[in-house]
C-alpha cells in the first residue's frame, strides 16, 4: 500500500471520487482542502446528538435509534457547541464514491486536536464505499468549543490497495452504503 499525494488526490476528485451533486460543497472548495498527502473534510449540516437515557444500548442488536439519538440540523450561524465531555455524530459535507482500489483513514485535524476535540477513530473508509463520512467528535478539554458548520474537522489519508478486493464494500451486505446523514451504529447483516 502507498499513500496518495496531492496530485493523485486531485486526479481522483476530478474523476468523480467525490459526487458534488450529492455534496454540500463544490469542487473548487474541495480542491483547496487538499494537503500534501491528505484531504480535509468539513462538518456537514446534520448531527446526531446522544440522548440522556438509562436503558442500555446493546451493541450488535437492533435498537430504536430515535430512543437514543436526536437528529439535529446545524444552524450555520451558530455551529455546534460542545461543552467538556460532550460528544456527537456528525457527517462530512463531502459525499464519496470510493474507487475499488483505494481505501481511506480518517484522522483529527491537528488544529482541532489542539483545542482538545477528538475524532474517536472509527475512521476506516473501505474501497467501494459510497456516502458521507460519519464523524465521532468529543470535547476532551476544559473549555466550551463551538465547531462551525463547514469547518475543517478531520483529514482523510488515502492508500492504494495491493490488488482489487474480491468483494468491495458495495458488493457486501453493507450497513452504511449510501448514507447522507450521520448514522448511529447498526447491527451486522453478514456478507
- 18, 30 contact by CB (below 8 A): yes
Burial of 7 (0-12, 13-18, 19+ CB in 10 A): exposed
Judge whether 66 counts as a catalytic residue.
Answer: no
The Cα–Cα gap between 42 and 24 comes to 9
Distances (CA, A) of 137 to 62, 123, 173, 178: 23, 11, 27, 21
Catalytic residue, from 136, 140, 183, 188: name it. Answer: 136
The Cα–Cα gap between 40 and 107 comes to 9
Of 177, 186, 149, nearest in space to 47 by CA: 149
For residue 162, what is its C-alpha cell? Answer: 495491493
As annotated, the active-site residues are 136
Amino acid at each position: 500500500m502507498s499513500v496518495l499525494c496531492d496530485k493523485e488526490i486531485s486526479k481522483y476528485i476530478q474523476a468523480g471520487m467525490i459526487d458534488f451533486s450529492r455534496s454540500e460543497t463544490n469542487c473548487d472548495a474541495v480542491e483547496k482542502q487538499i494537503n500534501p498527502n491528505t484531504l480535509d473534510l468539513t462538518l456537514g449540516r446534520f448531527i446526531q446528538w446522544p440522548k440522556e437515557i438509562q436503558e442500555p444500548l446493546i451493541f450488535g442488536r437492533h435498537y430504536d435509534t430515535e430512543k437514543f439519538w436526536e437528529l439535529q440540523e446545524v444552524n450555520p450561524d451558530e455551529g455546534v457547541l460542545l461543552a467538556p465531555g460532550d460528544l456527537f455524530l456528525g457527517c462530512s459535507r463531502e459525499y464519496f464514491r470510493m474507487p475499488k482500489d483505494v481505501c481511506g483513514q480518517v484522522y483529527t485535524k491537528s488544529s482541532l486536536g489542539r483545542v482538545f476535540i477528538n475524532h474517536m477513530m472509527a475512521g476506516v473508509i473501505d474501497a467501494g464505499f459510497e456516502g458521507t463520512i460519519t464523524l465521532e467528535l468529543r470535547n476532551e478539554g476544559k473549555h466550551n468549543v463551538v465547531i462551525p458548520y463547514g469547518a475543517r474537522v478531520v483529514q482523510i489519508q488515502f492508500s492504494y490497495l495491493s490488488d482489487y478486493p474480491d468483494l468491495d464494500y458495495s458488493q457486501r451486505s453493507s450497513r452504511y452504503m449510501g448514507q447522507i446523514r450521520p448514522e448511529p451504529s447498526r447491527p451486522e447483516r453478514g456478507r
